[in-house]
Amino acid sequence: MKTLYDKLWEEHHVTQLDSGESLLYIDRHYLHEVTSPQAFEGLSKKNLKPWRLEANIATPDHNVPTTRGNDFNSDQIKDEISKIQVVELDKNCNTFGIKQFDIKSTKQGIVHVIGPELGYTLPGMTIVCGDSHTSTHGALGCLAMGIGTSEVEHVLATQCLKVSKLKNMLVKFEGTPAENVSSKDIVLYFIGLIGTAGGTGYAIEFAGSYIENISIESRMTICNMAIEAGAKVGLVAPDKTTINYVREKSFLDNKTLEKAEAYWSTLKTDEEAIFDNEINIDVSKIKPQVTWGTSPEMVVNYDDEIPTPLNADKDKKKNIELARDYMGIQDESKLSDLVFDKVFIGSCTNSRIEDLRQAAEVVKGKTIADNIIEAIVVPGSGMVKEQAEMEGLDEVFKEAGFIWRDPGCSMCLGMNPDQLKPYERCASTSNRNFEGRQGYLGRTHLMSPLMAAYTAIKGTVGEPS
Amino acid sequence: MKSNSEGLVVDGIVSYIDRDNIDTDQIIPTEYLKSIKKFGYEDYLFDGWRYKDDGKLGVKKEDRDINSDFILNNKPYSESKILLSRDNFGCGSSREHAVWALRDFGIKAVIASSFGDIFYNNCFKNGVLAIKLEKNNIEKLFNLVKKEAVEFSIDLQQKIIFLNDKDKINFKVDDHLINRIIFGLDDVDISLKEKDKIMYFEKNRMISKPWIYANE
């Protein structure tokens, strides 16, 4: 009896090495400008070429400015160092012949957004990328994980990853959540429950009636943040929803698709398979979640008290103190007492069309609060941007006082011009609230697109409706 | 196989950061990921804690506002080869730059109660030894290093940390990982020895799963 992860592992297992590790064949390799230059350099030094060119798809996302407008090219990036990195990706893709959706392309975007939407991510694939949020692709039933730059070079050179098998964890989400609770709240709640090291060493399969009933976009949000629970791999078994999604996005012909679908329908955990760890969560009881500290596990219900060192366990005391101090939490007892400065709706966690629709609905006909200095919406890709504009969402946001941007990682991490200034407090739909993540001394509160939109309008967190 | 004799023992001053969940953004902030080089990250290690100002790639240590309270800025810790921390060290982003920064600073071993998966792997690919110890042992080490600056000696082959003349702690790590450091093995070279097997696998996969190989 096997789990879905076991099946994907066996399907891609090439051989076991003397070391005990295995070579796992990689179907798809995504590349971006930050973690690839040293890998290409290594490849050149060894006089090697990519093993299978067509497996690789590249796009610049981390460094790109999001105020590009039309006809912008890599040379126009103002930050000289960022420019070098983006130009280097252009060069490497040209030299080696790798397909790139470059900065000028209407299909450019965050690598984890464009992969699935352009039909390059297919169920049952092994997918890697030099980015920890590669777990996102597990939402389509892939064995997908983030890798380091040495491994990027290894995959380019050998089409394989040298790895040991992970343990299996099953997380079952059952029930129907409240209307103002989205998959972001569910995954934040889960991380709060098991902690940021709770999933270390595991591949997590997400299942249960809640997962069965949600869209691929919502599943991607959950798998995306598996890494914030410590798990390199998060995955959901392919079902009708998956197949409909793939059919809509795929460039494959019908005959090939039908053959593939017959195989994809076998990709599920056997009924009697045993997991090393199993967690059941009733989602009907979950409230909207907001992080208060500097680790994604520092999360509470939006209307809860912020933890204090006073009544904390001895080993948690110091972490709470340090986090409260960094986040500038003083006398405020509740999250709703905190006054926000900026709002960011975007990132590989929450920049897909569904996310933007949810946020737009909240802000429609309203205006952002006086204390909000800047509220930005950054669609995850050129395709998402186009779709949103077709639906008039850009106008809804702009009328409410938001700034509508071009696709990229933007304010999720401080690599491009979208950054917090010291001590600014941000309502963010991204995935990491680490110190300085959104800019030097910036303060990040992670939440759903719905809650971020609500915060933009009210200036503080509260009950979104 | 030729052994790298320098790789057999790590001797040196132990610095420590007493907190859980030190993520790779703390080890090296994103600003420095803009470099396209594999070396030269030593001045940016723990940048947010080590300095009192906002750094930029290329700005030298001498021109920064140094936080004299931070352990690595003080002697003898500025010469540390071993770093002690707690739970979930290196969680978060996959950036190998985090290991490059530790390595370039001179850290040859990190001891913690647990590590982020991707970081742990990245360590051994860059000659940095990551040692997992039980929490009670971590506590014991913290008690020791907080009293005064101490040196440990880590024997890679025996898998022992010598704390002083009389105390030692055994640790576990997979042989294939530690051998990578001892023998300086290159993964690409090892895997390419299996070239025929990879080609055979791929040929079969092209027939059984043609959609993987279809192009737009």
CB of B122 within 8 Å of a chain A CB? The answer is yes
pLDDT grade, residue A45 (50/70/90)?
A: very high
Give CA–CA dist A107/B110, Å, rounded: 42
pLDDT grade, residue A69 (50/70/90)?
A: very high
**Token pair of A191 as six digits:** 């991380």
DSSP state of B81: S
> A246 in helix, strand or coil?
helix
CA dihedral angle for residue A220, residue A225, residue A226, residue A229, rounded to 10 degrees = -160
* Cα-based distances in Å from B179 to B41, B110, B120, B153: 25, 17, 15, 18
- pLDDT at residue number B6: 53
Q: Which residues of A touch B54 (CB under 8 A)?
A: 422, 440-441
Q: Which residues of A touch B175 (CB under 8 A)?
A: 19-20
Asked whether the bond before B76 is cis by omega within 30 degrees of 0, the reply is yes
State whether A38 and B198 contact (CB < 8 Å).
no
Nearest CB to A25; choose among B91, B126, B201: B201
Written as one string, the DSSP assignment of B103-130 is: HHHT--EEEES-B-HHHHHHHHTTT-EE
For residue B188, give the chain A residue with the closest CA.
A154
Instruction: Name the class of domain A289-458.
Output: alpha beta
Residue A20: is it exposed, middle or buried by C-beta count within 10 angstroms (0-12/13-18/19+)? Answer: exposed
Residue A321: is it exposed, middle or buried by C-beta count within 10 angstroms (0-12/13-18/19+)? Answer: middle
A385-422 pLDDT, tens digit per residue, is 999 999 999 999 999 999 999 999 999 999 999 999 99
State whether B201 and A122 contact (CB < 8 Å).
no
- pLDDT at residue number A331: 83
- Cβ-Cβ contacts under 8 Å for A341 (sequence gap 6 or more): A371, A372, A373, A374, A420, A424, A425, A426
**Nearest chain A CA: its distance from B12 CA (Å):** 27
In this model, does residue A342 exceed pLDDT 90? yes
Nearest CB to A196; choose among B21, B34, B188: B21
- pLDDT at residue number A374: 98
Cβ contacts below 8 Å, chain A against chain B, sum to 195
Residues (pLDDT < 50) of chain B are: 1-4
**Nearest chain A CA: its distance from B187 CA (Å):** 7
CB of B48 within 8 Å of a chain A CB? The answer is yes
- pLDDT at residue number B3: 45
* Cα-based distances in Å from A20 to A145, A298, B214: 20, 37, 33
β-bridge mates for residue A376, sequence order: A344, A403
- pLDDT at residue number B7: 56
Which ipTM was obtained for this model? 0.96
A246-288 pLDDT, tens digit per residue, is 999 999 999 999 999 999 999 999 999 999 999 999 999 999 9
Give CA–CA dist B133/B58, Å, rounded: 36
- pLDDT at residue number A314: 83
Residue B214 within a domain: no
CB of B191 within 8 Å of a chain A CB? The answer is yes
State whether B95 and A151 contact (CB < 8 Å).
no
Residue A463: is it exposed, middle or buried by C-beta count within 10 angstroms (0-12/13-18/19+)? Answer: middle
Residue B105 within a domain: yes
In this model, does residue A214 exceed pLDDT 90? yes
User: Who wins on pLDDT, B4 or A229?
Assistant: A229
- Cβ-Cβ contacts under 8 Å for A358 (sequence gap 6 or more): A182, A448, A449, A450, A453
Give me the mean pLDDT over the A432-455 stretch.
Answer: 98
- pLDDT at residue number B185: 85
Instruction: Enter the pTM of the model.
Output: 0.97
- Left, alpha or beta for A439 (phi > 0: left; psi -120 to 50: alpha)? left
* Cα-based distances in Å from B123 to A73, A175, A287, A366: 36, 41, 39, 50
A73-107 pLDDT, tens digit per residue, is 999 999 999 999 999 999 999 999 999 999 999 99
For strands B109-112 and B129-132, give the pairing. parallel
Domain A4-163 shares a fold with domain A289-458: yes
- pLDDT at residue number A42: 97
The mean of the pLDDT values for chain A is 97
Domain definitions of chain A by residue range:
4-163, 167-239+260-285, 289-458
Q: For chain B, state the CA radius of gyration.
A: 20
**What is the domain-level CATH number for residue B142?**
3.20.19.10
Task: Show the domain range for B171.
Answer: 5-185
Fold observed for domain A167-239+260-285: Aconitase; Domain 2 (3.40.1060)
Give CA–CA dist B121/B116, Å, rounded: 9
* Pick among 3.30.70.360, 3.30.499.10, 3.90.1720.10, 3.90.1150.10: CATH of A4-163: 3.30.499.10
- pLDDT at residue number A332: 83
For residues A185-198, b (16+ Cβ closer than 10 Å) or e, as one string? bbbbbbbbebbbbb
**Nearest chain A CA: its distance from B82 CA (Å):** 22
Give CA–CA dist A137/B33, Å, rounded: 24
Total domain count, chain B: 1
- pLDDT at residue number A464: 86
For strands B9-16 and B151-155, give the pairing. antiparallel
Long-range contacts of A70-75 (CB under 8 A, 24+ apart): A71/A104, A72/A103, A72/A104, A72/A406, A73/A103, A73/A104, A74/A102, A74/A103
CB of B146 within 8 Å of a chain A CB? The answer is no
